[in-house]
Amino acid sequence: MEKRSKAKAPGFNPEYALGVHDDDCERLTLGTLLMKQSALEQVRDILVPECFYVDKHRDVYQAILNVADRGEEPGIVLVYGELQRMRSGVQPFELADIGRNESLSDIYPYAARLHDLHKRRKFYQLGHYLIKAGSCEEEDIVDVQQKAKEGIDGIFRESPGGISTLYDSLECLHKIMADNLAGTNGLTGTPTGFSRLDGKGGLQKSDLIVIAGETSQGKTSFALTLAVNATAQGAKIACYSMEMRKEQLAARIVAGQCGVSSSDILYKPLTDGELQAVDRAVGALCGENLFFDDRSTSNIDTILASIRSMKIKHDIDGAIVDYLQILNVNARSDSSREQIMGDVARRLKNLAKDLDIWIIALSQLNRNAAQPFPTINRLRDSGQIAEAADTVMLVYRPQYYNEHYGMNLRFPAPFEQVDVRGVALVDVAKGRNIGTMRFLCRFDARLTRFQDVADYRELETVKEAKEEEPF
């Protein structure tokens, strides 16, 4: 038989209270939150303190939330310190006992049960009120009806302002249209420094943007260029790289600004002129707006928790994750790689929507030696990545294949006459809100730097070899 708490909630008749709370489920949920790193990330959207029936359990969960909202990991030591600050009656041995109830499986079903039981208790309280109102004439019947309606609506209202009518949305749409007519709403998102993207509003909140390409095509450099351009306009961005240390990323960023290669900055003694150029570049960068989390690993749960923490502590506008295929994911042994990557992409998309930020995720493409031009169906390990993404950008540099594999590749129409040397193509192969498009930009391989090109006709064209005239 399922164990039940003997505590009675105010206003509840014990005869009807059976089944509206589950002490064991509460302890198991709290124990998992205390002992399993990043478990809170999975359930905090459906759990509020009132989901816990037992007062001490409610205090523990509130303490967990308080610690997490400070950007710290809610372990037993920090949570107990928070309980003391809250002047809670939870004792150390009680918290330690709760911590022994860790679930080895997914925590979400237990949290969902507590969420459901919380709603049932609200139904009981509303029913208790209606019984009382129906047995006397203390309140006007219209007031009773209104309170009953508000009570029912409130039970499933997730958060204030979370539900709106079509008219509410149309008011917002009307404002956007008015701003467009007035010419005051050209850039609604985070600026990128690339005219074609900014012309479509920039990087939009709640969007998952996938930047993909084969090896050495410049997808990391393109993402860093977007980040630097955005931070220069005041945006705050968190960056997570599983391949490079923060020093290597910083060297790439500085190299793009000063003209000294990142390898020289990292591994060679610089001349006086180069040192001055580096100093000028460092002084011009908005270094306080770009964040690297050295504590994060390649585990997706840790990164998601860190992004949430960055939003709380620094109010970031977006995050960059480099790259999807080398993330460690806690998945079932029978899950395919495609399912795992699809799940990662959906979790990133859900987090972007939840925090109202954009997230850029980099992805590899499967190699195709016969036809290197990138396509969306070559996303490595998963077509589900493209399904979850709002925007997919593919980076293509024919010069790389021409130099390394002796090929003679050009850009597709209408750019076929543009010289591929020092030029890259960005193909927006999917744009849920901005549509599809292609544009060219300059690329300096030595400095790993992308630069905007307002009109591709300004670029150098291919110089065709002329046949020698006979004497």
Q: Quick one: which H or E segment has residue 360? A: strand 358-364
Write the pLDDT tens digit of every residue in 59-85.
999 999 888 877 778 889 999 999 999
> Residue 367: pLDDT above 80?
yes
pLDDT given for residue 395 in this prediction: 95
Give the span between the Cα atoms of 262 and 278, in whole angstroms.
Answer: 10
Asked if the structure places residue 98 within a domain, the reply is yes
Q: What is the DSSP secondary-structure string of 255-304?
A: HHHHSS-HHHHHHSPPPHHHHHHHHHHHHHS-GGGEEE-TT--SBHHHHH
pLDDT given for residue 37 in this prediction: 72
Write the pLDDT tens digit of every residue in 95-107.
999 988 887 777 8
Q: What is the CATH number of the domain that holds 333?
A: 3.40.50.300
42-45, long-range: CB within 8 Å, 24+ apart, which pairs?
42/106, 42/107, 42/108, 42/111, 43/107, 43/108, 43/111, 44/68, 45/354
Q: Do 390 and 317 reside in the same domain of the chain?
A: yes
pLDDT given for residue 8 in this prediction: 38
pLDDT given for residue 60 in this prediction: 93
Q: Do 255 and 147 reside in the same domain of the chain?
A: no
Mean pLDDT value of segment 194-202: 90
Asked if the structure places residue 206 within a domain, the reply is yes
What would the two tokens of residue 438 be?
Answer: 């292609």
Asked if the structure places residue 160 within a domain, the reply is no
pLDDT band at 321 (very low <50, low <70, confident <90, very high): very high
Q: At CA 324, angle to CA 352 and CA 236, rounded to 5?
A: 40
pLDDT given for residue 261 in this prediction: 83
Q: Do 224 and 311 reside in the same domain of the chain?
A: yes
Asked if the structure places residue 444 within a domain, the reply is yes
> Residue 19: pLDDT above 80?
no
CB burial class (10 A; 0-12, 13-18, 19+) of residue 75? Answer: middle
Q: Which residue has the higher pLDDT, 135 or 465?
A: 135
Sequence-distant (≥ 6) Cβ neighbours of residue 304 within 8 angstroms = 38, 41, 347, 348, 351
pLDDT band at 168 (very low <50, low <70, confident <90, very high): low
Tell me which of 129, 155, 181 is where a domain ends.
155
Q: Are strands 358-364 and 318-322 parallel, antiparallel or unpaired?
A: parallel
Asked if the structure places residue 114 within a domain, the reply is yes
Q: What is the CATH number of the domain that holds 96?
A: 1.10.860.10
What would the two tokens of residue 199 be?
Answer: 């012309």
Q: Do 249 and 118 reside in the same domain of the chain?
A: no
pLDDT band at 16 (very low <50, low <70, confident <90, very high): very low
> Residue 465: pLDDT above 60?
no
Give the span between the Cα atoms of 366 and 116, in whole angstroms.
Answer: 44
Give the span between the Cα atoms of 131 and 147, in whole angstroms.
Answer: 13
pLDDT given for residue 6 in this prediction: 37
Q: What is the DSSP secondary-structure string of 169-206?
A: HHHHHHHHHHHHHHT--S--SB--S-HHHHTTTSBPTT
The answer to which of 45-59, 300-314, 384-398 has the lowest mean pLDDT is 300-314
Q: Do 147 and 237 reside in the same domain of the chain?
A: no
Q: Do 101 and 204 reside in the same domain of the chain?
A: no
Give the span between the Cα atoms of 23 and 25, in whole angstroms.
Answer: 6
Q: Do 210 and 144 reside in the same domain of the chain?
A: no
Give the span between the Cα atoms of 461 and 410, in whole angstroms.
Answer: 11
pLDDT band at 295 (very low <50, low <70, confident <90, very high): low
Q: Do 142 and 277 reside in the same domain of the chain?
A: no
> Residue 2: pLDDT above 60?
no
Q: Do 148 and 275 reside in the same domain of the chain?
A: no
Asked if the structure places residue 4 within a domain, the reply is no
On whether the CB atoms of residues 350 and 377 are closer than 8 A, the answer is no
Task: Return the closest-CA partner of residue 285 out of 203, 239, 229, 244.
Answer: 229
pLDDT given for residue 386 in this prediction: 86
Q: Do 94 and 233 reside in the same domain of the chain?
A: no
Tell me which of 155, 182, 210 is where a domain ends.
155
Give me the number of domains the chain comprises: 2
Average pLDDT, the chain: 82
> Residue 388: pLDDT above 60?
yes
Q: Quick one: which H or E segment has residue 222? A: helix 219-232
Count of alpha carbons within 13 angstroms of residue 46, beta-carbon side: 17
Asked if the structure places residue 467 within a domain, the reply is no
> Residue 257: pLDDT above 70?
yes
Tell me which of 130, 155, 180 is where a domain ends.
155
Which alpha helices (DSSP H) does 18-100 contain, by range?
Answer: 23-35, 39-43, 55-69, 76-85, 92-99
Give the span between the Cα atoms of 413 and 324, in whole angstroms.
Answer: 31
- Domain of residue 32 covers 14-155
> Residue 329: pLDDT above 80?
no
> Residue 464: pLDDT above 70?
no
pLDDT band at 18 (very low <50, low <70, confident <90, very high): very low
Q: What burial letters (b/e) apply to 97-108, b meaning 16+ CB within 10 Å?
A: ebbebbbeeebe
Q: Do 332 and 391 reside in the same domain of the chain?
A: yes
pLDDT band at 42 (very low <50, low <70, confident <90, very high): confident
Asked if the structure places residue 5 within a domain, the reply is no
Q: Do 325 and 423 reside in the same domain of the chain?
A: yes
pLDDT band at 470 (very low <50, low <70, confident <90, very high): very low
Sequence-distant (≥ 6) Cβ neighbours of residue 359 within 8 angstroms = 207, 208, 209, 307, 318, 319, 320, 321, 348, 349, 351, 352
- Residue that the structure tokens 């420094």 belong to: 193
> Residue 192: pLDDT above 80?
yes
